[in-house]
A = this chain, B = another copy of it.
Amino acid sequence: MFTNLNTDSSKRPRLLGELGDLSCKQISVVEFKYGRNSEIFGEGEPAEFLYQVIKGAVRSHKLLSDGRRQIGAFHLAGDVFGLENGEHHRFTAEAVVDTTVRLLKRQSLDRVAKSDKALIFKILSMTTDNLQHVENHLLLLGRKDSLERVAAFLVEMDRRLTAAGVVTLPMSRRDIADYLGLTLETVSRAFSNLQKKGFLKFLGQTQREILILNLAGLAAVDR
């Protein structure tokens, strides 16, 4: 492993914010590429690094012994993940598509954090953001029906990765289903339903490029 690592302390960070401001503080930062569907780290493994998505997309999931899967979050360009405070990762993280990730040694992060209060608060703040997202997802999984879930998903994705009203999903219907606690068939039916209602339109043939025609309508379906 780490055959293609790429020390970065001299380079300018490609993304600002979040971890971008750390590279100037003697924290070793490297970049690494993961192929589609390859594992970045596994649940239960020691949490040695902190990660930031540079390009691509990552899914974090838990598995039951019989294969049932729950995706806790998708991490898109700029997002930080692997932010565990304990010794071990609580999720498995995989690249959804070919993905470039920036790695930070937790050890060196902890060292700097000991003397850098702003950094501690930054980490606390990112953890809290994380918590907020998961708390909202609890309500979705516990109490929303399938159409509400898919509408909420589209609103979230529109906010996070839209380019001019067009949402280009990096993940499959199965990934979406495992994020929303549904089956891929139900997700597909909900997409068709929302298209029939005039809230969205598919572009191209891939079924992954979606033109959002009525964002407020989708938000209203979500409740």
Contacts and interface: CB of A to CB of B under 8 A. Distances in A.
Given A120-B121, A124-B127, A134-B135, 15 more contacts: A62-B136, A62-B139, A64-B139, A66-B223, A68-B144, A72-B138, A84-B128, A117-B117, A117-B120, A120-B124, A123-B124, A127-B131, A131-B131, A137-B138, A142-B178
Interface residues of A, number: 39
A148 B120 CA distance: 38
Contacts of A72: 135, 138
Contacts of A65: 223
In the A-B complex, the 5 residue pairs with the smallest Cβ-Cβ separation, listed nearest first, are: A142-B181, A85-B128, A141-B141, A70-B142, A68-B143
Contacts of A142: 70, 141, 178, 180-181
A90 interface: yes
A132 B90 contact: yes
Contacts of A134: 131, 134-135, 138
A125 interface: yes
Interface string A179-223: 011000000000000000000000000000000000000000001
A86 interface: yes
